[in-house]
Amino acid sequence: MPASPIRKLVPYADQAKKRGIRVYHLNIGQPDIETPDIAMDAVRNFKPKVVEYSHSAGIYSYREKLTTYYKKYDIHITPEEILTCTGGSEAILFAMGSCMDVGDEVIIPEPFYANYNGFAINAGVVVRPIPSVIDNGFALPPISEFEKAITPRTKAIMICNPNNPTGYLYSREELETLRDIVLNHDLFLFSDEVYREFCYDGARHASVMHLKGLDQNIVLLDSVSKRYSACGIRIGALISRNKEVMQTALKFAQARLSPPTFGQVAAEAAIDVPESYFAAVLNEYTSRRNVVVESINRMPGAFCPVPKGAFYAVARLPIDDSDRFCKWLLEDFNFEEKTVMLAPATGFYATRGRGLDEVRISYVLKVEDLQMAMKCLKEALNVYPGRK
């Protein structure tokens, strides 16, 4: 089981704080946006005499209400096509376990969300990475790369849209390309769409659920963690129109009994959050993104493409080794008693040796903090002993 590139440096951050250093956490996608009151109030007002197990697929009223949420995005499903999970993480694990056997292969464009590696190992599945590159903003690799990676053991392709860690937003045309590959080779298409609310510069999110002819191939993975800035309630969803997939996934759900009751209560109430909430959040994240991207692109030898979605960016820096650099930031560097914590991009690649000069940045702090964090990063690059 691989260590998390997002969390493995936490002990070094803890030690830095003990030395009186302020650490700006840009390593993890933990928003500082307040969780909506409507969700918090629902939990405060939920006072059952017994906190019972829910149905293994999740509370029916929640799944029924979720269908109205998806309808806003032209995704038309029934409660029976939704399995409530303990976060999006469990949805990913259930998808792999339900659709793939031990030794089967899933193709994922890299860099990809680091925990896909861990879930694949947990499920006995082999990840076959294909390269996307920073120079074109991590666009979908060409069909030829997918075709080269397909073997008799290939059972699925997995994407994250908008993407974690790159912030890339796949277009409808790119999704149509995936549709053709999936149909030609009869594969599953796992689509992690946790960040659909976070699309910038007027861009619109396209879901794989909009693709024609893929009802039996698509497994949609979702979560409320980032949507409502409620990572700790641990509620996600696995969605598919494939009845056999849903029946199989339910067996995994029955084995873990039920998803968190209080989390489902909060998530059901949160569906009523007004659109004005998302508009304000999107405006805030746009400002944060611009601070990070513009600051990095002014640093000599650094480059950061402009993310079109999510709240992450992958930046190329003039460094020798991102793991070494990120650790050095916490152990040996400070600027005015401050430093920044980043995630080394090596952990978001399955191919050894990739990401050595890249870091992932989560722009989840307020603008003033991000400005200071970027100043720390600039000063760090000036004195880092492994600068290229």
| CATH code for residues 37-270 | 3.40.640.10
Identical topology for domains 10-34+276-383 and 37-270: no
pLDDT at 5: 77
pLDDT at 246: 98
Q: Measured between alpha carbons, how far is residue 332 from residues 19, 27, 315, 372 in Å?
A: 11, 18, 22, 18
Task: Record the tokens describing residue 151, joined without a space.
Answer: 């073997």
pLDDT at 357: 98
d(CA 223, CA 197) in angstroms, rounded, equals 12
Domain ranges of the chain: 10-34+276-383, 37-270
Task: Record the tokens describing residue 107, joined without a space.
Answer: 């193709």
CATH superfamily of this structure's domain 10-34+276-383? Aspartate Aminotransferase, domain 1 (3.90.1150.10)
d(CA 292, CA 326) in angstroms, rounded, equals 17
Record the pTM. 0.96
pLDDT at 303: 98
Which residues, at least 6 apart from 351, have a Cβ–Cβ distance to it below 8 Å?
110, 129, 131
DSSP 347: G
Mind listing the pLDDT tens digit of every residue in the chain (388 residues)?
Answer: 887 877 889 999 999 999 999 999 999 998 999 999 999 999 999 999 999 999 999 999 999 999 999 999 999 999 999 999 999 999 999 999 999 999 999 999 999 999 999 999 999 999 999 999 999 999 999 999 999 999 999 999 999 999 999 999 999 999 999 999 999 999 999 999 999 999 999 999 999 999 999 999 999 999 999 999 999 999 999 999 999 999 999 999 999 999 999 999 999 999 999 999 999 999 999 999 999 999 999 999 999 999 999 999 999 999 999 999 999 999 999 999 999 999 999 999 999 999 999 999 999 999 999 999 999 999 999 999 999 9
